[in-house]
């Protein structure tokens, strides 16, 4: 390995090291960072090499926008003015292969440099400054990527973004972003295949882990497929898992052995995220062996912000097995009449419900991520087909009269129910249409 200090880098937390570190990277191979704080602007990783940050080594992002790449630095890049997010990134790899980031040290996005104090009208979020970088660590159309045994902290936006990559291993990553960070995602996996994520601990201000299908900017569009996520601990005021966003295809993924704590929604699945989106096809996804301390266990919906009338791509063959935990908001499975949500299986689940506040009732009820919280039932189904409950147990740790039913179903063929214990609640409300 090459020692970054041999190229002039200084780990004093003040010296700007961009040129020295990039020179070391360009020399090839793995670059070793001894303990210290190395301040830098945008860095471009190259094939057949990477970064080895020793324990105690911190690679910290510059607070100066002039030290980052331009928004048009590469054709696949994107930015979001409505979120006050630029196309700048701290660490970038574009169309490279065989790259490793490891060593036990930390990559620090320096979030405090880009935010003000929490908003007075919304204390749960920081005030945005005039400018902030985009994804902190960004791999685009790369092959054979490994990020292992690292801390990725204080990102001002998404932390680790993989777009159009193949053969990716993420293991032993610890991500800590303040709950108040807007859009402070942990790991975003977009149009990637052959990906394993394991043994990660993520504390994020937005979605902990996402699977996305947004292929429009890629030179070589890929489905998001063959992804396994296992043995992780997730905590967020948003979604532990979000599946959806984009216009492509997400399929053949298993998410298992997960602990969710202090989290709003455990699993969020949506074909369409915004009104101008085509939506994604989502199929053959399994969620297994998950321990949940959440408000809402799950939502499977055609549209994230309420059900609308336009045609939506399908969500099908989704299995939830051995989910166990506490909740206080309803599970939703619903589409509009032009959508296609089918073959949804709930198996071996045990949910303990409390709460019962903010309940709405009626056949016109639709889920919206930032709107409706509760139906008067643990499960609310609408315009869904082939829904199965097998060995599902619901306990009601509340005397609230608002919890009236275990399952409400509207415009939905009668679900198959086998060996379930719904705790003396009625099974259905509304008209079942076969």
Q: Establish how many alpha carbons lie within 13 A of residue 18's alpha carbon, considering only the half-sphere containing its beta carbon.
A: 17
CA-CA distance, 163 to 157, in Å (whole number)? Answer: 16
Domains and CATH numbers, the chain: 2-237 (2.160.20.10)
Measured distance CA(331)–CA(296) in Å, rounded: 6
Enumerate residues 6+ apart whose C-beta is below 8 A from 267. Answer: 239, 240, 241, 243, 287, 297, 298, 299, 320
Contact by Cβ (8 Å): 379, 423 = no
Query: Strands, DSSP E only, in 335-402?
Result: 341-347, 350-353, 377-382, 384-390, 393-396
Residue 434 confidence (pLDDT): 39
Q: How far is CA 239 from the centre of its chain?
A: 7
Quick one: pLDDT at residue 305?
59
- Residue 157 contacts residue 135 (beta carbons within 8 Å): yes
pLDDT, position 278: 82
Contact 141, 94 (CB under 8 A): yes
Please say whether the dihedral angle defined by the alpha carbons of residues 378, 367, 316 and 259, taken in this order, is positive or negative: negative
Report the pLDDT value the prediction gives residue 399, as an integer from 0 to 100.
79
pTM more than 0.75: yes
Low-confidence spans in the chain with pLDDT less than 50: 432-434
Report pLDDT for 433: 44
- Smallest CA-to-CA distance from 385 within 411, 362, 406, 405 is with 411
């Amino acid at each position: 390995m090459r020692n970054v200090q041999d190229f002039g880098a200084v780990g004093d937390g003040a010296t700007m090291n961009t040129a020295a570190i990039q020179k070391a990277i360009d020399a090839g191979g793995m670059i070793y960072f001894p303990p210290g704080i190395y301040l830098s602007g945008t860095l471009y990783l190259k094939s057949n090499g990477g970064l080895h940050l020793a324990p105690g080594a911190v690679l910290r992002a510059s607070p100066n926008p002039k030290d980052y790449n331009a928004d048009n630095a590469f054709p696949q890049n994107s930015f979001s003015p409505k979120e006050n997010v630029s196309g700048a990134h701290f660490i970038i790899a574009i169309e490279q292969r065989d790259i490793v980031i490891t060593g036990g040290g930390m990559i620090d996005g320096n979030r405090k440099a880009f935010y003000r104090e929490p908003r007075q009208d919304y204390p749960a979020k920081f005030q945005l400054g005039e400018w902030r970088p985009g994804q902190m660590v960004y791999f685009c159309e790369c092959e054979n990527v490994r990020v292992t045994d690292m801390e990725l902290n204080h990102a001002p936006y998404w932390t680790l973004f993989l777009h159009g990559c193949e053969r990716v291993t993420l293991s032993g990553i610890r991500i800590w972003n303040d709950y108040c960070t807007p859009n402070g995602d942990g790991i975003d996996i977009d149009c990637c295949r052959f990906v394993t994520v394991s043994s990660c601990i993520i504390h994020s201000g937005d979605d902990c882990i996402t699977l996305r299908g947004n292929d429009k900017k890629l030179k070589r569009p890929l489905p998001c497929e063959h992804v396994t996520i296992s043995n992780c601990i997730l905590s967020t005021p948003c979604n532990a898992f979000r599946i959806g966003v984009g216009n492509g295809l997400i399929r053949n993924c298993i998410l298992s052995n997960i602990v969710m704590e202090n989290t709003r929604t455990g699993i969020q699945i949506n074909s369409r995220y915004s009104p101008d989106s085509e939506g994604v096809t989502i199929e053959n996804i399994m969620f297994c062996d998950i321990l949940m301390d959440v408000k809402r266990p799950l939502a499977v919906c055609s549209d994230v912000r309420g059900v609308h009338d336009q045609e939506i791509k399908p969500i099908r063959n989704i299995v939830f097995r051995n989910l166990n935990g506490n909740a206080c908001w309803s599970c939703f499975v619903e589409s509009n009449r032009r959508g296609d949500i089918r073959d949804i299986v709930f198996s071996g689940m045990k949910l303990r419900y409390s709460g019962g506040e903010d309940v709405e009732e009626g056949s016109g009820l639709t889920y919206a991520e930032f709107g409706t919280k509760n139906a008067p039932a643990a499960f609310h189904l609408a315009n869904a087909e082939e829904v199965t409950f097998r060995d599902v147990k619901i306990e009601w740790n509340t005397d609230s009269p608002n919890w009236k039913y275990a399952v409400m179903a509207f415009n939905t063929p009668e679900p198959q129910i086998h060996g379930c214990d719904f705790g003396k609640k009625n099974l259905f409300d509304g008209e079942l249409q076969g």
